[in-house]
Structure 1
Amino acid sequence: MLLTTLVDLSRWQFALTAMYHWLFVPLTLGLGFLIAFMETRYVMTGDEFWKRTTKFWMKLFAVNFAMGVATGIILEFEFGTNWSNYSWFVGDIFGAPLAIEGIFAFFMESTFFAVMYFGWNKVSKKAHLVSTWLTAIGTNLSAIWILIANSWMQYPIGMEFNPDTARSEMTDFWQVVFSPVAINKFLHSVTNGYVLASIFVIAVSSWFLLRKREQTLARKSIRIASVFGIISLAVLIGTGDGSAYNVAKVQPMKLAAMEGLYDGSEKAPLVAVGILNPDKDIVGGEGADEDPYLFEISFPNMLSFLATRQADGFVPGINDIIKGGYEFTDREGNTYIEPSFAEKKAMGTAAVTALADYQTAKESGDTQAMAQAEAVLEQNFDYFGYHYVEEPEDLVPNVPLVFYAFHIMVALGMFFILLFILYIIFEWKNLIVKDKHKWLLWLGIISVPLVYICSQSGWIVAEVGRQPWTIQNLLPVNAAVSGVESGNVLTTLIIFAVLFTAMLCVEISIMLKQIKKGGE
Structure 2
Amino acid sequence: MENLLLAIDPGTVDWSRAQFALTAIYHWLFVPLTLGLAVVMGIMETCYYRTRKEFWRTAARFWQRLFGINFAMGVATGIILEFEFGTNWSNYSWFVGDIFGAPLAIEGILAFFMESTFVAVMFFGWNKVSAGFHLASTWLTGLGATISAWWILVANAWMQYPIGCTFNPDTMRNEMTSFLDVALSPFAIDKFTHTVTSSWVLGAAFTVAVSCWYLLRKRHIELAKASIKVGAAVGLVASLLAGSTGHNSAYMVAQSQPMKLAAMEALYEGGNDQSLTAVAWVNPFDQPDYMKQTEPPMRIAVPNMLSVLATKDAHGYVPGVKDIIRGYKKADGTQEPSLKEKQERGRNAIQALKDYRAGKNKEANLKVLEKDMKYFGYGYIKDATQIVPFIPINFWSFRIMVGLGCLFIAVFALMLFIVYRKDITRFGWLQKVGIALIPLAYIASECGWLVAEFGRQPWTIQDMLPTWAAVSDLSSGGIAFTFFLFLVLFTAMLAVEVSIMCKQIKKGPEL
Indicate the TM-score class for this superposition, using the shorter chain for normalisation.
over 0.9
Equivalent residues in 2 for 1:190-269, closer than 5 Å: 190-269=196-275
Q: Deviation per CA, 1:124-154: give whole Å up to 9, x if none.
A: 2222111111100000000000101100111
1:83 maps to: 89
1:176 maps to: 182
In 1, the alpha carbon distance for the partners of 2:367 and 2:124 equals 60
2:4 maps to: none
1:487 maps to: 477
Q: 1:122 aligns with which of 120, 128, 134?
A: 128
2:389 maps to: 397
The one-letter code sitting in structure 2 at the alignment partner of 1:426 is I
In 2, the alpha carbon distance for the partners of 1:106 and 1:198 equals 24
Equivalent residues in 2 for 1:50-449, closer than 5 Å: 50-277=56-283, 278=286, 280-283=288-291, 288=292, 290=293, 292-324=295-327, 326-329=328-331, 335-361=333-359, 369-434=361-426, 437-449=427-439
Matched, 1:515 2:505: yes
In 2, the alpha carbon distance for the partners of 1:383 and 1:235 equals 36
SS of match in other structure, 2:174: strand
The one-letter code sitting in structure 1 at the alignment partner of 2:234 is F
Contact 1:160/1:168 (<8 A) preserved: yes
Q: Deviation per CA, 1:397-447: give whole Å up to 9, x if none.
A: 11101111000000000100100110010001133122xx11100001011
SS of match in other structure, 1:294: coil
Q: Deviation per CA, 1:81-106: give whole Å up to 9, x if none.
A: 00000000110100001000000001
Contact 1:162/1:168 (<8 A) preserved: yes
The one-letter code sitting in structure 1 at the alignment partner of 2:342 is K
SS of match in other structure, 1:457: helix
The one-letter code sitting in structure 2 at the alignment partner of 1:510 is I
SS of match in other structure, 2:382: coil
Contact 2:287/2:391 (<8 A) preserved: no
Q: 2:9 aligns with which of 3, 9, 23?
A: 3
The one-letter code sitting in structure 1 at the alignment partner of 2:490 is F
In 2, the alpha carbon distance for the partners of 1:481 and 1:475 equals 10
Q: CA deviation at 1:312?
A: 1.4
In 2, the alpha carbon distance for the partners of 1:92 and 1:291 equals 43
TM-score, structure 2 as length reference: 0.96
The one-letter code sitting in structure 2 at the alignment partner of 1:52 is T
SS of match in other structure, 2:9: helix
In 2, the alpha carbon distance for the partners of 1:136 and 1:2 equals 42
In 2, the alpha carbon distance for the partners of 1:281 and 1:136 equals 47
In 2, the alpha carbon distance for the partners of 1:412 and 1:240 equals 13
Contact 1:280/1:291 (<8 A) preserved: no
TM-score, structure 1 as length reference: 0.95
In 2, the alpha carbon distance for the partners of 1:209 and 1:85 equals 54
In 2, the alpha carbon distance for the partners of 1:170 and 1:73 equals 24
In 1, the alpha carbon distance for the partners of 2:496 and 2:172 equals 45
Q: Any unmatched runs of 5+ in structure 2?
A: 1-6
Q: Deviation per CA, 1:304-353: give whole Å up to 9, x if none.
A: 111111111111111111111x1114xxxx54111111100011011111
CA-based RMSD: 1.2
Matched, 1:476 2:466: yes
Q: CA deviation at 1:292?
A: 4.1
Q: CA deviation at 1:4?
A: 1.2
Q: Any unmatched runs of 5+ in structure 1?
A: none
The one-letter code sitting in structure 2 at the alignment partner of 1:12 is A
Q: CA deviation at 1:45?
A: 1.4
Matched, 1:462 2:452: yes
